[in-house]
Amino acid sequence: MQTINKKDIPEILTVEIEKLSNLGLGIARIEGYVIFVESACPGDIVKIRVGKKNKNFAEAKIIEIIKPSPYRIEPFCPMQKVCGACQLQFIEYGYQLKLKKEIVEDAMRNIGALDVTIGDVIPSPKIKHYRHKIQYPVSETKNSKRILAGYYKTGSHELVNIKYCPIQPEYCDNIIEFIRAAAQECGISGYNENKHSGDLKHIVIRTSAYNKKSLIILAVNSIKIFDKLKVLAHKIYNEAENIQGVGINLNPQKTNLILGDKTEILEGEDFIEEKLCDKVFKVSAKTFFQVNPYTADNIFRYVKKYISENIEQPTILDAYAGITTFGICLAGIAKKVVSVEEVKESVALADKILKENGIKNVELHNMDAAMFFEKELRTKGRKFDVTILDPPRKGCSKSSLDYALKLTKSKIIYVSCNPATLARDLKYLTEQGCKIESIQPFDMFPHTYHIENVTVINTPN
């Protein structure tokens, strides 16, 4: 129970960090009043400066580490303290996994009101060079007009110019460094977010763990492709043999969306290939595909093994399917797979992948999942042995969950990158009579607070 008023919290004080929040912040308490401490590890005893105070909590930064946690280590990246991408890199990796499991447990208990056992987090096979999608915002220096590209400082829009990032393949650093120099040579300016001026807004790289090929997309503040961009694309494409294609994305809107609606490939191919579950997939600029293919492969194999051991020749509904990765991985153990995805480009790629892999038992639908659920119930009335739900971070709507229940005879397998929305949705499903069989976390994003979960749900049908 809170016994202290926020006005009585001093600006400078010494605290011990108890645990980690779901956003990767250390949690300390003063007579029940919560203080979220940036860059803190459970077990740290630290002197902090308290900043913004709210009724129930305050925010603070570390002034001095008086006694470090036994799990605190020196980050392997020299930019970790200023770059906002790897929040937990100063924590020993095995302990990161324990903390992520606690984040999932807290979400299930506090949001879902669920008493369920959470499996130990399955670690990423690689904890460096694992990130195969890079999205760098771009700006330029005020006087020299030097192109800057990197990540933002935590909680700000101050760009950190990243020249070396150990969580992405090393050749990506070389590509980005070349783009910085070549863009300036071509007279292409960096974007000014405040003035909504300048040319180059983002550099996006999709790169393959399978064959090391890369697709480069330059997001620009323009309604059309101008000649300087064509020259830059040509320079980039000819810089290295592993660059499979270079494209321009037109994004003239003042928005936080990285890519606009229109992308034109100026050089090479419009996709890279990635291999999962012994199948080769085509991945384009706007296709959803997991950034860590090593952990993704573990997840797909885990789901495939579970289904094959529990249901013989199932009919499977793959909702929010993207390029139908789950459906294609599961096709070999299924009687039939029905795949639903609203992005037309992803469905077109899925169709190509099916044909190239000789898979004939997957049925593709290009439409919103909720609309498909309603149509399926109204017209065909089919029911599926297994439904795979792999929604965005916001989770599923109640209506989508209701439809999934009506369409599923046995199991729902819910894949989520957000423990909070997963817990909310699982609470709703249990209220409808479902039973949670298992929750298995996978570390898709080492050194961050993010955690992927695969939940097996038994339906009441």
d(CA 33, CA 16): 13
Q: Are 395 and 366 in contact (CB under 8 A)?
A: no
**Alpha-carbon torsion, ordered 328, 330, 336, 341, to 10 deg:** -50
Q: Is 417 noted as a catalytic residue in this protein?
A: yes
Q: Are 76 and 65 in contact (CB under 8 A)?
A: no
Among residues 407, 412, 405, 401, the alpha carbon closest in space to that of 436 is found at 412
What tokens were used for 75?
């980050």
Q: Please give the distance of CA 111 from its chain centroid, rounded to a whole number.
A: 21
d(CA 387, CA 458): 11
- Beta pairing partners, 159: 152
Per DSSP, helices labelled H in 256-382 are 293-310, 325-330, 344-356, 369-378
The DSSP secondary-structure symbol of 78 reads T
Q: Are 199 and 231 in contact (CB under 8 A)?
A: no
Tell me whether residue 31 is exposed, middle or buried, using C-beta atoms within 10 angstroms of its C-beta: 0 to 12, 13 to 18, 19 or more: exposed
d(CA 230, CA 227): 5
d(CA 334, CA 312): 8
* Residue count (the chain): 461
Query: Residue 226 contacts by C-beta under 8 Å, 6 or more apart in sequence?
Result: none
HSE, side-chain direction, 13 A CA sphere, residue 376: 23
Q: Which one of 77, 277, 417, 434 is the catalytic residue?
A: 417
Q: Are 321 and 285 in contact (CB under 8 A)?
A: no
d(CA 263, CA 248): 6
Among residues 33, 30, 27, the alpha carbon closest in space to that of 2 is found at 33
Asked whether the CA dihedral 158, 162, 165, 169 is positive or negative, the reply is positive
Active site residues: 417
